[in-house]
């Protein structure tokens, strides 16, 4: 790259062209339009927008409180409140502006059949790709119960694969022992890509009432507090993905361009922004600028050249951190 040419943020992800490696994360931006309330915000600044987790029938979700601030992060237990897949496909998708960005559905269910049915409905819609959420910690059935079981994970992926030819992204849970071997099973079952990671399970207690603050008792932890965990999981999943050319949307606590670059170096082709928007709704603009500046100063012409370029220390890591 000549020293004065501008690097590009355009990234190919499963055959889709992303304007930027940034993906807005499921559950943080409603059904794609909510943040357009904010003056200066544009979906054009991001490569893709993941819609809220969607199930076959409408769900009311959990009782309040659903969100709570914790050190450097937050807990949430929304409980997959959504209007059901028919409403999303018939009422919401027709009002999204697909010239601005790529829109990705986020599919959930309490049974393998429900995952199949919701995926099938989205397959017959203008949605660009489908993310299977087998890692939601906030519902009693399905979700993380599937994602923590490698056999069930692969079954869900295999079933959804039969329902669509659109890019299929599996969202992996950090709440499991061996995320890399689960990823391997999902690749064999037909996953085209991964989202790594969903939230970690957590709790907060009101010491006066001696009750959990979150209505659902427990919730998913997100934000900067989980970044180091997420980064290691991306690195681990990348070891499996790199030989299969399977891309990863790295996520968990990214708030700055430097955070995003760490995830890309660890093996993520795209980076997810969720909780950081709650603090700064215009954060994507500064992350784009920061990534561009880094590429320029390191004489790289695109993000692809940086993906998975992590140089490990020579010493063999021991399994325990003590």
Partner 1 sequence: MTKPHHNSVFLEEAEIISHQAFDGDQFIMRLLAPHCAAKAKPGSFVHLTCDPQLPMRRPISIMRSSYNEGWIELLYKRVGRGTTLLAQRQRGEKISILGPIGTPFKATPGQSRPLLIGGGVGMPPMIFLAESMRQESDKQPFVILGSEVPFPFKPTPSKILIPGIPEGVIASMPLLDDWGIGNRLASQQEFSGCFQGYVTELAQLWFRNLDRETRSQVEIFACGPHPMLEAVAAMASEWQVPCQVSLEEFMACGIGGCAGCVVEVQTADGPAMKRVCVDGPVFEAASVFN
Contact string (CB under 8 A) for partner 1, positions 259-298, x = contact: ----------------x-xxxxxx----------------
Give the chain's end-to-end CA distance (angstroms, integer).
44
Give the C-alpha separation, 63 to 216, whole Å.
Answer: 7
User: Minimal distance in Å, beta carbon 282 to partner 1?
Assistant: 6
Q: Which does 61 bind (CB under 5 to 8 A by kind): ligand FMN, partner 1, none?
A: partner 1
Going by C-alpha positions, the residue among 121, 133, 119 that lies closest to residue 89 is 121
Task: Pick between residue 63 and residue 239 the one whose CB is nearest to partner 1.
Answer: 63
Question: In this structure, what are the phi and psi dihedrals at residue 318, rounded to the nearest 5 degrees?
Answer: -85, 155
User: Minimal distance in Å, beta carbon 219 to partner 1?
Assistant: 10
Cα 167 to Cα 11, 39, 194: the distances in Å are 15, 32, 11
Task: Pick between residue 179 and residue 273 the one whose CB is nearest to partner 1.
Answer: 273
Contact between 84 and partner 1 by CB under 8 A: the answer reads no
Beta bridge partners of 196: 172, 250
Are 300 and 11 in contact by the 8 Å Cβ rule? The answer is no
Q: Which two tokens stand for residue 287?
A: 């992350």
Which stretches of the chain bind ligand FMN, using CB under 6 A?
A: 25-28, 52-53, 76, 78, 80, 106, 133, 136, 171, 198-199, 222-223, 226, 251-254, 272-276
Residue 321 assigned as binding residue = no
Q: Which two tokens stand for residue 226?
A: 């989980």
Give the C-alpha separation, 296 to 5, whole Å.
Answer: 8
Q: Residues with catalytic annotation?
A: 136
Angle at the Cα of 272 (from 244 to 191), degrees rounded to 5? 30
Q: Which does 72 bind (CB under 5 to 8 A by kind): ligand FMN, partner 1, none?
A: partner 1
Place of tokens 């992800």: 13
User: Minimal distance in Å, beta carbon 93 to partner 1?
Assistant: 13
Binding residues for FMN: 26, 52-53, 106, 133, 171, 197, 223, 252-253, 274-275
Give the footprint of partner 1 on this chain (CB under 8 A).
Answer: 27-30, 33-40, 52, 60-61, 63-69, 72-74, 76, 78, 81, 95, 97, 223-224, 275, 277-282
């Amino acid at each position: 790259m000549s020293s004065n040419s501008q690097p590009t943020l355009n990234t190919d992800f499963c055959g889709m062209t992303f304007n930027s490696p940034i993906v807005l994360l499921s559950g943080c931006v409603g059904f794609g339009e909510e943040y357009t309330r904010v003056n200066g915000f544009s979906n054009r600044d991001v490569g893709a927008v993941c819609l809220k987790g969607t199930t076959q029938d409408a769900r009311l979700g959990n009782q309040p409180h659903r969100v709570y601030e914790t050190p450097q992060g937050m807990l949430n237990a929304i409980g997959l409140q959504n209007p059901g897949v028919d409403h999303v496909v018939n009422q919401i998708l027709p009002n999204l502006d697909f010239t601005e960005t790529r829109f990705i559905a986020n599919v959930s269910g309490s049974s393998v059949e429900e995952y199949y049915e919701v995926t099938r409905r989205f397959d017959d819609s203008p949605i660009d790709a489908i993310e299977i959420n087998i890692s939601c910690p906030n519902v009693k059935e399905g979700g993380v119960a599937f994602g923590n079981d490698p056999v069930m994970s692969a079954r869900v992926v295999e079933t959804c694969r039969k329902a669509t030819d659109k890019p299929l992204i599996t969202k992996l849970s950090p709440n499991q022992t061996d995320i890399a071997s689960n990823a391997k099973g999902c690749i064999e079952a037909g996953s085209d890509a991964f989202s790594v990671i969903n939230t970690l399970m957590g709790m907060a207690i009101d010491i006066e009432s001696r009750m959990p603050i979150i209505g659902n008792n427990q919730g998913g932890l997100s934000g900067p507090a989980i970044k180091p965990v997420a980064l290691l999981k991306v690195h681990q999943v990348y070891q499996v993905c790199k030989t299969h050319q399977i891309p990863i949307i790295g996520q968990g606590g990214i708030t700055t361009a430097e955070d995003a670059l760490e995830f890309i170096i660890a093996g993520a082709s795209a980076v997810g922004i969720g909780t950081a928007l709650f603090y700064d709704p215009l954060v994507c603009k500064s992350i784009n600028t920061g990534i561009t500046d880094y590429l320029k100063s390191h004489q790289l012409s695109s993000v692809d050249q940086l993906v998975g370029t992590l140089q490990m220390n020579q010493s063999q890591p021991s399994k325990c951190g003590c």
